[in-house]
Amino acid sequence: MPLILIPTPIGNLRDITLRALDTLAACDSIVAEDTRVAARLLAAYGIRGKPVHGYREQNAVEVTRAILERARDHSIAVLSDAGMPGISDPGRELVASARAAGVGVEVLPGASAFVCAAVLSGFALERFSFEGFLPRARGERERALRAALLRGTTTVWYEAPHRILASLAALDALAPEAEVFVARELTKLHEQQILGTPSAAAAALPSPVRGEIVLVLAPNSRNESAATEEQLDAAIDAALAAGSPPSAIAKALSGESAHPRQELYARVIERKLARERPSEDSL
């Protein structure tokens, strides 16, 4: 008997599949990220009498072994609160443990918010990157955004409503002309789709921001031939040798890379001081 991962609606309850309902009705028991959320879903479709057990990050270590033992001779459905289990929700570790224990695993196709948002954006999706939630710490968030700008492909993140404005502001500081798509409350009554620059997207969001957020960043065409660190230093050295002032060098290079102007100015000053510092051979 297998573990069966079942994606659940990300907002509209009508988005569950017929196969998912058949599986929930036929399974022996259910493990769910939140038993209350699972109970509401089951009640909406008249599925009654199913044992529902909690499986979340906080108790995963304690309950995984018992789940796998039961799955050897019973069918067990795995639910997250919304979307696909294992995508920024509990489930991945359970699948890995099941594989290691020789327990069968199945997954049903269905709703996933990041896929819906990526398609809605209209951005190129021949290759794209899903990065989960953006880091909370300011420095780590900026590094993640800068890396995405340099990657040259579409990037998708989940973001909390109370952090989305800070994330858009950070992106605006790095690349104010970047094209973003913000999807809020997908499939729900107050769904919002915003396409534009980071500052325009921030201005279009309600105050306060509420609901589930997906942020999609378009490929940054200005950085398709982004300079490597060595190329960047070489460009700085050449400009210094030509007599360009540091502020002008930083301004020019900020238009050619994802590095913010302040960071480039500090780098130019560092290179300038290194050029002016006497070498050991001249001492």
Q: Is residue 97 located within the same domain as residue 145?
A: no
Check if the beta carbon of residue 5 is closer than 8 Å to that of residue 86: yes
Q: Let me know if residue 145 belongs to a domain.
A: yes
The model's pTM is 0.76
Q: What is the pLDDT of residue 151?
A: 80
Confirm if 165 and 215 have CB atoms less than 8 A apart.
Answer: no
State the average pLDDT for the chain. Answer: 91
Determine, yes or no, domain membership for 271: yes
Number of structural domains (the chain) is: 3
Do 121 and 219 lie in one domain? The reply is yes
Of 99-103, 145-149, 251-255, 278-282, the poorest mean pLDDT is in 278-282
Examine the domain organization and report whether 138 and 175 are in the same domain.
Answer: yes
27, 4 in Cβ contact below 8 A? yes
Structural domain includes residue 283: no
Same domain, 209 and 250: no
Answer yes or no: do 142 and 66 share one domain.
no
Q: Report phi then psi at 194, rounded to 5.
A: -130, 125
The CATH number assigned to the domain holding 139 equals: 3.30.950.10
List the domain range (segments joined by +) for residue 44.
3-107
Q: Could you tell me which residues come within 8 angstroms of residue 256 by beta carbon, excluding any fewer than 6 positions away?
A: 222, 226, 227
Domain boundary among 107, 131, 146: 107
**Whole-number pLDDT of residue 277:** 73
180 lies in the same domain as 95: no
* Same domain as 134, residue 65: no
Distances (CA, A) of 56 to 9, 81, 160, 193: 18, 10, 19, 31
Sorted by sequence, the CB contacts under 8 Å of residue 123 that are 6+ apart come out as 154, 179, 181, 216, 218, 219
Q: With 50 as the cut, is the pLDDT of residue 45 above it?
A: yes
**Domain at 11, CATH number:** 3.40.1010.10
**Same domain flag for 160 and 67:** no
Residue 137's pLDDT band, with cuts at 50, 70 and 90, is: very high
State whether 246 and 149 are in the same domain.
no
Residue 59's Cα: distance from chain center in Å?
Answer: 24
Question: For residues 182 and 192, what is the distance between their CA atoms, to the nearest angstrom?
Answer: 8
The whole-number pLDDT of residue 224 equals 44
Q: Which residues of 129-156 are buried (b: 16+ CB within 10 A; e: fewer)?
A: ebbeebbeeeeebbebbbebbbbbbbbb
Same domain as 174, residue 154: yes
CA atoms within 13 A on the CB side of 148: 28
The vertex-155 CA angle with 97 and 177, nearest 5°, equals: 160
